[in-house]
Amino acid sequence: MSKSSNPPTAEEWNSVRQHFNESAFADTELTVLAQNAGLTWYFKGKGETARKYLAYDFEDLNSVPGMVGKKSRIRRLIDILQSTVAFDEPFAEMADGIKTDIDADADPNRILLRLGIDPDLPSGLLHFNAASVALLKEQSLETLGHLLAYVDRNAAQIELPGDCKALLNCLVHRDGIGTARYLPFRVGGKGLHLAESIGLIARDIPETMQYALLKRAGIDLKDAEYAATSDLDAEDFEKHLTQASARIAIACNWFKQEAEELSAKVGSATDTERFFVPLNHPHRERVAAVLARIHFGVDPASGKRSLFSSILKAVGRS
């Protein structure tokens, strides 16, 4: 999408605001939506979502910190949201589009085939919000293919949870960046990969715990990041780390060949981090590398083989 040179208007803002109040992408980071639209957004962070701005009418939007006197930023926000509207049609229409909009004989599994995505991917490697995870459990949908078949049978009768709807929108529109938010899909490439799978697991760990992992690995942190680890609850950390390792085990079992390659690299911090370079996200690459070394029994600070529990205990003492 090209940048608009027209001044932003209240009519434009009211229109896009009305749509996004019910959008599956309302809580998606604006940097992601911007990237999908071929644009950039000015601020980063989990709180930088469309919903942050939706509470304001056009006049009040001009008084939001970071937007004061910045008509160009309001223009950019509207451009990003308008572009995203095209990816967020009601699901029943989208389901019809799966069969008619892209190719005359297209179906979900053909779409996966074109993207190099195996429909047998375990649902445990899908990264959804709680409502979408609940749907997988309630309907015993054990693979991505099961989910697509369920949707194909029931699209006209059900209202899908937001993450399920967003993923299917991304697949239909062959939006690799959006797809990679939910599947271990390699953006700019093809297929599913272990690096991306562990990268998603790293992303889902609370931010303060990510900093704690990097701290234990001897990686330098900014003062604010270091301070964020001071009140860390060791039991909560252990719970999240155990859950992460369990998901990594599922991923390694699925990506057996890549898991063998990674296992051979974890003795070297440099080789491990290089394995995760395709993530194209330096912070997440480091967190994923630390998680991988811990999972394979390597102390991320010393590089020595160690017991998983010793890492957890060390966090409690730090």
Question: Which DSSP state fits 29?
Answer: B
Determine the pLDDT at residue 104.
35
Mean pLDDT rounded to a whole number for the chain: 82
Distance of CA 126 to the CA centre of its chain: 10
Question: Which DSSP state fits 147?
Answer: H
Both tokens of 216, joined, read 């234990």
Burial track 91-127 (b if 16+ CB lie within 10 A, e otherwise): beebbebbeeebeeebebeebbeebebebebebbbbb
Q: What is the pTM of this model?
A: 0.65
Name which of 207, 236, 217 is nearest 290 in CA terms: 217
Cβ partners under 8 Å of residue 144, min gap 6: 112, 117, 118, 119, 120, 121, 123, 126, 183
Q: CA 92 to CA 203: how far, in whole Å? A: 31
Determine the pLDDT at residue 101.
41
Determine the pLDDT at residue 98.
40
Spatial contact of 76 and 50, defined as CB atoms under 8 Å apart: no
Rounded alpha-carbon distances, angstroms, from residue 140 to 96, 145, 156, 235, 289: 24, 12, 20, 31, 32
Determine the pLDDT at residue 134.
94
pLDDT digits (tens, 9 = 90+) for 36-72: 778 889 888 778 888 888 888 888 888 888 888 888 9
pLDDT of the chain, 318 residues: tens digit per residue:
545 668 888 888 988 888 777 676 777 888 888 887 788 898 887 788 888 888 888 888 888 888 888 889 999 999 888 887 765 554 434 444 443 343 433 456 677 877 889 999 999 999 999 999 999 999 999 999 899 888 878 766 778 888 888 888 888 777 888 899 999 999 888 899 999 999 999 999 999 999 999 988 888 888 888 888 888 888 888 888 899 999 999 999 999 999 999 999 998 889 999 999 999 999 999 999 999 999 998 877 777 776 444 444 444 444
Determine the pLDDT at residue 153.
81
Determine the pLDDT at residue 185.
95
Determine the pLDDT at residue 105.
38
Both tokens of 87, joined, read 């990816």
Reported as type and span, the H/E element at residue 170 is helix 162-172
Q: CA 174 to CA 248: how far, in whole Å? A: 27
Rounded alpha-carbon distances, angstroms, from residue 309 to 234, 280, 297, 315, 316: 12, 30, 9, 10, 11
Determine the pLDDT at residue 313.
40
Task: Tell me the sheet residues that pair with 305.
Answer: 298
Q: Tell me the backbone φ, ψ of residue 7, rounded to 5 degrees.
A: -60, 145
Q: How far apart are the first and last CA of the chain?
A: 48
Determine the pLDDT at residue 107.
57
Beta-strand runs (E) in the chain: none
Q: Tokens 């930088």 correspond to what residue?
A: 48
| SS3 of residue 298 by DSSP | strand
Q: Tell me the backbone φ, ψ of residue 296, rounded to 5 degrees.
A: -90, 10
Q: CA 165 to CA 175: how far, in whole Å? A: 13
Residues counted in the chain: 318
Side chain identity at 95, as an amino acid letter? A
Side chain identity at 106, as an amino acid letter? A
Q: CA 274 to CA 195: how far, in whole Å? A: 10
Determine the pLDDT at residue 6.
81
Helices 130-138 and 162-172, packing angle to 10 deg: 90
Determine the pLDDT at residue 306.
61
